[in-house]
Chain A
Amino acid sequence: RKEVEQDPGPFNVPEGATVAFNCTYSNSASQSFFWYRQDCRKEPKLLMSVYSSGNEDGRFTAQLNRASQYISLLIRDSKLSDSATYLCVVNEGNNDMRFGAGTRLTVKP
């Protein structure tokens, strides 16, 4: 079983749609959690950290459920510029960062 698993995708949605990505992790001792965005043929960039209480940054909302070892990312009012691959990242402790394989999102006009 992979340490970090994500929805395989791809997700193809119209502009303005709401889309949610899910991620599960296997190590219950994992300490911190992140969502990264990676544009085609570019490097990953930190989108947001995920806090236990859930957190929001504009149109983006991240949730963490430690009991279920589950992380989610919700994007509201999708824009064309949101098209990218979204990587779920888990710090398993001791600076051991594990990346999911990513979920590809395409937002269409």
Chain B
Amino acid sequence: DAGVTQSPTHLIKTRGQQVTLRCSPKSGHDTVSWYQQALGQGPQFIFQYYEEEERQRGNFPDRFSGHQFPNYSSELNVNALLLGDSALYLCASSLGTSQETQYFGPGTRLLVL
């Protein structure tokens, strides 16, 4: 039973660039939530995708966008990268939109120079 997988594991970008992060949910799950975890902080909710639509969004600017595919996998896109976007980006999957039963992937560590 495959758990949540994310790619790439690490990424280095420069300010102003764009980045796409990918997530495959745990087998049997249909909902994907994305979180940003800055160093020394807890994860902060970015948004959630269910049935290929954004269902809920945290306090993040429009530079952060996403997509969910028919196979439930998801992408997180960040445009016009800022130094402050450097963080661990975590994907979590669940069956249904309740985040109380979610499983996290290993994350993608993004460094913006």
Contact = CB atoms under 8 A, between A and B. Distances in A.
Interface of A: 4, 32, 34, 42-45, 49, 87, 89, 91, 94-97, 99-102
B110 to A, nearest CB: 14
Nearest to B45: A97
Contacts of A96: 45, 56
A67 B90 CA distance: 33
Contacts of B106: 42-43
3 nearest A-B residue pairs (beta carbon): A99-B42, A43-B104, A97-B99
B44 A99 contact: yes
Nearest to A34: B100
Nearest to A6: B42
Interface centre among A43, A97, A101, A102 (most CB of B within 10 A): A43
Contacts of B61: none
Contact of A87 (B42, B97, B98, B99): B42
B105 interface: yes
Contacts of B100: 32, 34, 49, 91, 97
Nearest to B40: A101
A91 B99 contact: yes
Contacts of A95: 48, 56, 97-99
A45 B42 contact: no
B42 to A, nearest CB: 3
Contact of A43 (B42, B97, B107): B107
Nearest to A43: B104
5 contacts: A89-B42, A95-B56, A96-B56, A97-B99, A101-B42
Contact of B42 (A42, A49, A94, A102): A102
B105 A4 contact: no
A32, A45, A49, A102 pick with most chain B CB within 10 angstroms:
A102
